[in-house]
Amino acid sequence: MPPTMASATLRLPSPLVLVVALLACDQRGAQPVHKPSARSAQSDTVWYREARVLDLTGDGRPDSIILTANGRRSDSLVVVLVLLVDGREAYRLTWSSAHELVDPQLPDTTQTSVDAYVRRRLGQILLGVRTEPLDTTSFLELGDSSALRGLQHLPAQDVVFAYGYESTLWLGWDARAKRFVELRYSD
């Protein structure tokens, strides 16, 4: 006998359960180290999404960098940079696209110019993610070395990228925890 509308409805999880489950899935494995306030743009709209491949951990295998900007207007997007290692999220950073517009070089202030500038800027951020040999001396001199001391094995390289208005972040791979940790932040 086919199910009635009432019995079919009873078998579906409530919308609240679905939202909680989606939020939990979105946050699993995430390690938000630095999360500048990002206004809640209408995040259901993907305005920009690009990815690239780079060996982030130094193991010789390709990892992924995904940069997504959600919202409707280029001046109020929620920008999310995710680093994937072995197909799993190993780092996530979220910020507002307004940080990209602090001191822009724009020919004019039309929405078309702002949109083009933000797209270029997001592309620069994605392409600017790089690895470099880990220089422990500079971390000891310039920053808090507690992140280095917390790593059981020092990585051979760190991941560096600039974003927002003059912000730069250095990350180190924690092989034991299978995630990136913040080694240094500069703005």
Asked, for residue 22, whether it belongs to a domain, the answer is: no
Within-domain flag for 148: yes
pLDDT value at residue 87: 96
Mean pLDDT of 115-144: 86
Of 34-43, 54-63, 115-124, 162-171, least confident by mean pLDDT is 34-43
Looking at residues 141-147, what average pLDDT do you find?
Answer: 64
For residue 4, tell me if it sits in a domain.
no
Q: Give the pLDDT confidence score for residue 168 in this predicted structure.
A: 94
Residue 176, domain member (yes or no): yes
Does the residue 5 lie in any domain? Answer: no
Range of the domain at 90: 30-186
3, part of any domain = no
Cα dist from 146 to 108, 183, 184, whole Å: 45, 8, 10
Is 86 contained in some domain? Answer: yes
Q: Is the pLDDT of residue 14 over 60?
A: no
Residue 21 counted as domain residue: no
The reported pLDDT for the residue numbered 66 is 98
* pLDDT of 106 strictly over 90: no
Q: What is the pLDDT of residue 166?
A: 86
Q: What phi and psi, each to the nearest 5 degrees, are found at residue 8?
A: -65, -40
Residue 19 has pLDDT above 50, yes or no: no
- Per the structure, the count of domains in the chain is 1
- pLDDT for position 71: 96
Q: Alpha-carbon distance 106 to 125, whole Å?
A: 18
